[in-house]
Structure 1
Amino acid sequence: MFSVSRRVLLQSFRRPVHASDLTCRRSCLTYLETRRAYSDKPPASSASSARDRNAVGVFTPKSAAIFLLTGLGLLYYFRHEKAKVLEQQEKDRANKAYGRPTVGGPFSLTTHTGATYTEKDLLGKWSMVYFGFTNCPDICPAEMDKMGLVLEAAEKEHGKIFNPVFVSVDPARDSPSRIAVYLKDFHPAFIGLVGSYQAVKAVCKAYRVYFSTPPNAKPEDDYLVDHSIFVYLMDPQGRFMEAFGQTVTTDEMLEKIREGHCGVEG
């Protein structure tokens, strides 16, 4: 490809103009203008790099923080919804029978003071029964605290007509003396119950409680315990009235009691 300078082109204009020269000059000028126009455009690679820099620049620290907070919010929401779904599934399973579900029945366990305790000891008061274990790191203490708050508020409105009960689902490690120490952190009216593995299994079956304690576990063994998370409300005749799940607040529990849903009279 050859190059024609503007100086040479101007010198050629001083000569006599012929029709053929005019056509040639127009062609040369057109070529020069076209070449200048192309030379003024940035290279394709430069334009692409600029676009890449702009795209990267959008992800600022602020947008990263918003993205992180949004992700954490979604994680909390889905965990909360999953807990509600599992709770409803447990209630649906317990309510498969027509009318009032059959929850509760005969049992014989040992209190944290060493006395024998049966289903007959639940009669005469409204009982709140919770199944857990003393090694539970967070859920059991939170539910026990919630029961204590409900008990204090309910007693102010209805009197001392409630009986809070803690049943251990970890008989290998939860001795009566250990439960006695554990209950000191909660409402003083709590009664702690435990028994042999078979006795605990029987009462859990009567109350439709799931637990995963190994049947041959020893006190020195290291194992995890999974169990249902419900507070069972039983009437003074020992009949099941309501199951409060982990997502139910103290205010909601008290509201159900106040509105007479559970048949409590002031």
Structure 2
Amino acid sequence: MKRLPIISRLLILAVVIVVSIGVLLHWTRVQAPDSSHAPLELAAPPTGGDFTLDSAAGPVRLSDLRGQVVLIYFGYTSCPDICPTNLVYIANALRALQPAELERTRVLFISVDPERDDPSRLASYVGYFHPNILGLTGTPAQVAEVAKHYGAAYRRVDDTGSAMVYLIDHSAFTYVVDPSGRLVQTLGHASPPETILAAIRTAFGAEP
């Protein structure tokens, strides 16, 4: 029987390895569901409100973004799964907007880990997802004050067995602010891009 060329055999081996890794990851999730990083519930009903925090380009004030739809999300750059999931969904929703809509839509990613997330680190992180996402931070007291207005919950959890040292458990809601600066909708964790897209367009439709 004729043997397969070495390139074909290597491709088959690569496919087998990738499939095996996928099966292993799936098995690990099934066998250890408690190891997942679960989001917290809201600490209080969100009311919204103006705030100023720091970006890599300087201070950003929410009221300076009037005329735009603003999505606000609280997370941190070392988040293992919850933040990347939501940011990918948000970025996909942004890519589905018409150019004129995209020009008037901004996302503010507010770090609940100001100890590690300086403005430069945040800019690098959010840049992987979409250019319309801005990373914001401040002092712990400033972040806590903003989080209080949006009902965002977070807490430090020590993880001394890893290089991370600690994780941040946090709520994972996306807040939709309309062009007048009013909080009009709160979307749950892992809301699909279609839901986010609809919320953005609804917020545009609420303009006076």
TM-score after normalising by structure 1? 0.56
- Corresponding residue to 2:53 among 105, 109, 122: 109
- Corresponding residue to 1:161 among 91, 104, 107: 104
Residue identity matched to 2:67? G
CA separation in 1, counterparts of 2:184 and 2:206? 14
Residue identity matched to 2:87? M
Would you say the 8 A contact 2:72–2:176 is kept in 1?
yes
Unaligned runs of 5+ in 2: 1-26, 158-162
Q: Does 1:224 align with 2:158?
A: no
Which gives a bigger RCO, structure 1 or 2 (Cα 8 Å, sep 6+)?
Answer: 2
| Residue number in structure 1 paired with 2:85 | 142
| Residue number in structure 2 paired with 1:128 | 71
Deviation at 1:143, TM superposition (A): 0.8
| Residue number in structure 2 paired with 1:21 | none
Aligned length: 173
What is the RMSD computed on CA atoms of the aligned residues?
Answer: 3.3
Cα deviations by residue, 1:29-65 (Å, 9 ceiling, x for unpaired): xxxxxxxxxxxxxxxxxxxxxxxxxxxxxxxxxxxxx
Q: Secondary structure at 1:251's aligned position in 2?
A: helix
Task: State the structure with more CA Rg.
Answer: 1
Q: How does 1:140-219 map to 2 (within 5 A)?
A: 140-156=83-99, 158-213=101-156
CA separation in 2, counterparts of 1:232 and 1:198? 21
Deviation at 1:247, TM superposition (A): 3.8
- Runs of 4+ displaced beyond 3 Å: 155-159, 255-258
Residue identity matched to 2:51? F
Residue identity matched to 2:91? G
TM-score after normalising by structure 2? 0.70
Would you say the 8 A contact 2:89–2:190 is kept in 1?
no
Deviation at 1:257, TM superposition (A): 4.5
Q: Secondary structure at 2:77's aligned position in 1?
A: coil
Structure (1/2) with the larger helix percentage: 1
Would you say the 8 A contact 2:53–2:59 is kept in 1?
yes
